[in-house]
Structure 1
Amino acid sequence: MADEKKQDDIKNDSESNVNQLEECKQKCEEYLNNWKRERADFLNYKKDEIERIGFLAKYAKEDIVLKILPVLDSFHLAKKQLPDNLKEDTWIKGFLQIESQIAEFLKKEGILQIKSVGEKFDPSVMEIIEESEEG
């Protein structure tokens, strides 16, 4: 009888160990699947953040350019109104050098001046600012 009880205990312990092993395997698989899901979520987040940062950088650059263009326009207007007797003044040459630096900066950023006077209106590269009576 004692041997039968021992065998039953061993059998119960063995079944218990098998059940525990199965539970551990299930938990292990569950943890692995959760880890894979989190990893995929993180990679998607990382990709989205890179796109968002690129988008922000593009529009921050655009904002800066839009703020610099009126300054460059003011330099151009001042240059047109410059009296001949001041064209050789070193101060004036310095200011004109600043204009050149701004224009060069914009050129390096891919911003090019589009010649539009006398050209047919092209909405892909031109913007209507004012309409004249001439037509």
Structure 2
Amino acid sequence: MILIEGEKAAEALKALGVNAVGTVTGAASQPSDEALKPLAAFERIYLWPDNDGPGRDHMLRIGDRFQRLEAKDVRVLEWCDAPEHGDAADFIEHYGDRAREKLRELVAVAQPSRRGLRTCRRSRRSALKRPPRHHSRRRPGLAPTYPT
């Protein structure tokens, strides 16, 4: 199960057949323990932050909450070549037909969330700035998506 920031990214993963849940609280806050508790029952949870400071902090705080909720295995996915503010939807768009294969590679090297995020070496291409995205305001909590 992959927990990501935003419904657009969750929908993109769903299109690949991946079990994903998107937070809809925005990076400044986290879903409640009540909302996260059912997810803590998964054998392994992957956190996929947006590629920006608020997105990384958001997922690390959620990782801490999962630890308090006694989740078995919480890991962080890091797309080192992501553009600024890049997320799972951008990853899938970038890799196209190879997205599923590349996602498997990210999963294979995912580190436990308690170790934090490693600093990826940024390529010249990924250092290009993108304009910030505007997220619609939604109710706090989670927006689940399930494979069809």
| TM-score in terms of structure 1 length | 0.21
Higher helix fraction (1 or 2) = 1
Higher strand fraction (1 or 2) = 2
More contact order relative to length (CA 8 Å, sep ≥ 6): 2
- Structure ID, larger Rg: 1
